[in-house]
Amino acid sequence: MITKTLGNSDTRVSAIGQGMGLGGYSSSSGTYGDLIPVIQAGVDAGLTFIDTAPAYGEGESERIVGRAISPIRDSVTLGTKVSPADTTADGVVRSAEDSLGRLRTDVIDLFQIHWSNPTVPIEDTMAGMERLIQQGKIRHVGVSNFSVNELKAARQALASVPIASLQVEYNLFDRSIEDTMLPYCIENDITVFAYSPLHRGRVTSGKRQIETLERIAADHGCTTAQVALSWLVSQRSVVAIPNTSRQERVLENAAAGELHLSEVEQDEISRVCSLQQQEIPTDQIRPASEDSRAAFRTLQEALDNTIGSTPSPRQLAEQIKAGDFLKPVRLMPVPGVENEYEVLEGRLRYWAWVIAFDGKKPITALVDDPS
C-alpha cells in the first residue's frame, strides 16, 4: 500500500483507509462486534488509517474501533472528530477525553472538527485543540466539511501546529472541490481525506462514464470501484476512506492501492467523468417526504430549526449570502415526473439556499440519474 504524508508532518498514512461510519451496517445481520475482524483484516492488508467519530452510532463506532485496534495500536493511524455541539474550548477537551476512553488509547493521531459551528468562535475551538496538543492527547488537528474561508480562519486561529487535513466528499461523480478547495489544500500542504469515494457504492453516474470505467477495469482485471479508488489516490494530497462492513470489500479496497493506471487512462477518466453541475429552480425540488422526521419538510420548519441542526439553516444562509463556498446538492429525478427532483444529499444546504435568496435563485446541483 502506498502512503502519503499527513499535512507537512513526518506522519505517513495509507493512501486508502477505512471509514467507520455505521450508516450502511445493519445490526440485524449480526452484531457490531462482527466488524472487528473486518477492521483488523483491513489493517493487515495495508489500510492502516482508520477514521471514526462520536456521531457514528452514538459512539458505537469508536468503541468497535477501540476493541479492534487495541492489540495492534502501533500499526494504526487513528482519526476521530469532535461534533459541532462540543466546539467550545472545554467541549473540545471533554469530547477528546471521551473518545480516548471509547477508543482504548492514550492519544488520537488526528482530531478533526466534524462540522463548523458558527455560534462558537473558531478561536475558542482552537484553544481547546491547543490544550490537547500540549497535554499530548492529540498529535494533529484537522477539519471536516469546512469551506475555503472557514479553513483559512481555522489555520489562522491555530498557532502551535498547522492544520493537517480537510475531510470532504470527493468522488468521480462529485468533483466540486477541484475548483478552489483542492488547489488551496495542495498549495498549503493540507491532506484531503475523501469520504464517499465510491459515490455511495455506485462509483459514478451516467452511461458513458460507467462504460469507460468498465472497459478500463476489464483491461486490468479488476472492478470499477478499484479503478475509481486508484484514480482518486493518484490525485496529489488525496487519501480515500471508503466505508464498508464486508471483509471482501476491505480486501478489494486494499488491492486498489496496488493498481497502477496509466497517464492516458487517468486523463480519460478525468475527461469523461468531468463535473456536470446544473442550476435547478428550487420550486422543482422535493426536499423531504411528508413522513420524514429527520429533515425539514417545510420552509417554516427550516426557519424554526425544528430538528436542532448545527449550523441552523438561517446561519448557513448567512454564510451563503456572504459568498462562502457551497458544495452542490445531490438530486435524483422523480420517476415519471418531468422537471421534478428529490434531494438525495444536502437538505440543509437546500433550505439555507432557499432562505438566502427567498427561493428565487436556482441552486447548484448534481443530478444523479440512475437510468
**Based on the structure, what is the number of domains in the chain?**
2
Which residues are bridge partners to 113 per DSSP?
82, 143
Residue 316's Cβ-count burial label (10 Å; 0-12, 13-18, 19+) is buried
Last residue of a domain, one of 272, 297, 322: 272
- pLDDT recorded at residue 255: 97
pLDDT tens by residue, 272-282:
998 788 999 99
- 173 and 295 assigned to the same domain: no
- 33 and 174 assigned to the same domain: yes
| Furthest CA-CA distance within the chain | 59
Element (H, E) at 139: strand 138-144
Q: What is the SS3 assignment for 31? A: coil
- pLDDT recorded at residue 26: 44
- pLDDT recorded at residue 29: 46
- pLDDT recorded at residue 28: 44
- pLDDT recorded at residue 24: 45
- 102 and 249 assigned to the same domain: yes
pTM of the model: 0.91
Element (H, E) at 141: strand 138-144
- 237 and 308 assigned to the same domain: no
Q: What is the CATH number of the domain that holds 172?
A: 3.20.20.100
285-286: strand order across its sheet:
277-280, 363-367, 329-333, 341-345, 285-286
Report which of 203, 204, 210, 170 is spatially closest to residue 186, judged by C-alpha positions.
170
- 88 and 213 assigned to the same domain: yes
- Its domain, for residue 165, covers 3-272
Last residue of a domain, one of 272, 306, 337: 272
pLDDT tens by residue, 188-236:
999 999 999 998 777 777 788 899 999 999 999 999 999 999 999 999 9
Give the number of other Cβ atoms within 10 Å of residue 106's Cβ.
9
56 carries an active-site annotation = yes
- 332 and 244 assigned to the same domain: no
Judge whether 162 and 155 are in contact, CB under 8 Å: yes
- 212 and 141 assigned to the same domain: yes
**Per annotation, catalytic residue among 25, 56, 195, 341:** 56
- 189 and 323 assigned to the same domain: no
- 202 and 187 assigned to the same domain: yes
- Say how far apart CA 60 and CA 28 lie, in whole Å: 15
**How would DSSP label each residue in 164-190?**
EEEEEE--SS--GGGTTHHHHHHHTT-
**How would DSSP label each residue in 280-348?**
E-GGGEE-S-TT-SSS--SHHHHHHTTT--SS-HHHHHHHHHTT---PPEEEEEPTT-TT-EEEEE-HH
- 32 and 156 assigned to the same domain: yes
Report the relative pairing of strands 12-14 and 3-5 from DSSP bridges. antiparallel
Judge whether 57 and 24 are in contact, CB under 8 Å: no
Last residue of a domain, one of 272, 307, 341: 272
- 219 and 331 assigned to the same domain: no
Judge whether 313 and 353 are in contact, CB under 8 Å: no
pLDDT tens by residue, 78-93:
999 999 999 999 999 9
Q: What is the CATH number of the domain that holds 311?
A: 3.90.1530
> Which stretches in the chain have pLDDT values below 50?
24-29
- Say how far apart CA 353 and CA 368 lie, in whole Å: 20
User: Alpha helices of 59-136 — where are they, by DSSP H?
Assistant: 60-69, 89-103, 122-135
- 122 and 203 assigned to the same domain: yes
Compute the Cα dihedral for 173, 353, 315, 179 and give only its sign.
positive
